[in-house]
Structure 1
């Protein structure tokens, strides 16, 4: 039970903050050089972004993760809380620092990213269990590999086997170690490149999406696969039922966070009683709308993950 009532969706994944700066060129070894336009990007890790998207859709959401006692942890708490997300189980720990990344962009527009460790490395299985137990009324559990994948999978196993939740696992970034049997995962969420890698195929393989989905299920024993395929749409295997959701054509201005938005919107659809097919179709349109808006966490008018009222108005305009 959340502090504001029953929780419908639990999200357990990383929170981190990116710092961005411009440089004329990338620094040489041992060099100190000037940078400008240094700022904190209004974007978080996959746990925070999915949570914020769900909260703005009006879905009762509880977050599980770990951050430090620092401004970056405060920032994530603020972003999620302002979107209506319950952060009771955003554990704070003096022994860790909230994950941060540094993105340096040179004069040619090329970037180098230094990505810090997720503070969720310090999240214990006991803490995960306690948090899930406290929100055991939730219908859906979402996790992913922005945190150590073994702990993400431990959470999914608890949510599924002990409390019967529908479990989603976003397998990004793919770990270098074997995933093992994922029979407790209802839907493994990947993009088309990750799907090919999981099947041992070349990244440019032209293997049909349906075949990739079936091979992933046969290998990892999850119930189904949701595979996003960029602007083309998404390929979905739900048990024995395969379908493809075509993308909605829009003029994209900001594609970061579109996949997290799609996942959040799919979970929201299930909470609202939609079938998986209906939920994915709605989520595909939601993600198309999202990429027409700048940013992710920002809540300035017309920016970031949209509130449900804006989404419904936009989708209505598609039918006119």
Structure 2
């Protein structure tokens, strides 16, 4: 039995970056600077690489094309110690790519292209999970088709795994009850969208998270709050984690993926959720000082040294 600490089911793609002084409006021709292809994966490879570099026994499930972008994803996974057996390769599709627009203060907007995981079949996911029966955690998100991600989560739960979902990008169709999800990771913008709350509406974080919790029947909701830190609502137990400040923010792209991976890592280590999120905030603080997503996910010792020397 090929048991893992964590199984990640989500998309692989390769990011392209461009720097701009503002976000474009419809019909606008936007001039950008320093457009380049970076070491930047999709949410699946981001989370899996981060986990692997932190020493977590990790496997990845997804589908990519038989092309250089797919080769690059497989290389990143294997170099991080991630089992890429179930990174299925196919000639049906090309591996996806995306454009990340970086603003003057390091904030970002991500434009996702088609994911090669549209060719991923539910039976392939189920077979992979069955082959890794006995694994501890299952992590997924919606850079692959929602029905594939949720089918995987349901089956993982049936196999006794703890399940985590980052429903990003948010789907237009309803997600219905998600009571088979143990940990829902969202940001504040996503929380407001889910609950039909206007961006400038006055609502406290706990109330917003309670709405999400009741809507989907989930016990544990974890919300990132950008520069304000993060918060968690576990049944009726609410707590906030203060933000970790760094001198210079270079790039925030992938920080949420890193935060999720670091939180799951600490849960695997047996930490409480509060302890896990505190450590993950420090991990994410290091990640935003480094350009690109894949390079920003540092090995455990380097993270520990950063925490010791700076925080």
User: So what's the TM-score if we normalise by structure 2?
Assistant: 0.89
Please point out which of 281, 303, 311 is paired with 2:303.
311
Please point out which of 192, 196, 205 is paired with 2:192.
196
2: CA distance, partners of 1:94 / 1:313: 43
**Deviation sequence 1:95-149 (CA, Å, 0-9, x none):** 11111235689xxxxx997642111111111111011111122211110011111
Please point out which of 6, 12, 17 is paired with 1:9.
6
Please point out which of 246, 256, 261 is paired with 1:264.
261
Distance 1:46 1:22, change over 3 A: closer
Partner of 1:281: 278
Aligned ranges for residues 205-284 of structure 1 at < 5 Å?
Answer: 205-251=201-247, 252-284=249-281
Please point out which of 46, 49, 60 is paired with 2:46.
49
Structure 1: where are the runs of 5+ without partners? 30-34, 106-110, 299-303
Q: Do the aligned partners of 2:134 and 2:160 also contact (CA within 8 Å) in 1?
A: no
Paired residues, what number? Answer: 301
Structure 2: where are the runs of 5+ without partners? 103-107
Return the offset for 1:277. Answer: 1.3
1: CA distance, partners of 2:200 / 2:33: 38
Provide the alpha-carbon RMSD of the alignment: 2.6
User: So what's the TM-score if we normalise by structure 1?
Assistant: 0.87
Please point out which of 77, 94, 109 is paired with 1:80.
77
Return the offset for 1:206. Answer: 2.6
**Deviation sequence 1:224-265 (CA, Å, 0-9, x none):** 211000011111011221111111111222211110000000
Partner of 1:171: 167
Q: Do the aligned partners of 2:231 and 2:241 also contact (CA within 8 Å) in 1?
A: yes
Partner of 2:15: 18
Larger radius of gyration: 1
Q: Do the aligned partners of 2:12 and 2:42 also contact (CA within 8 Å) in 1?
A: yes
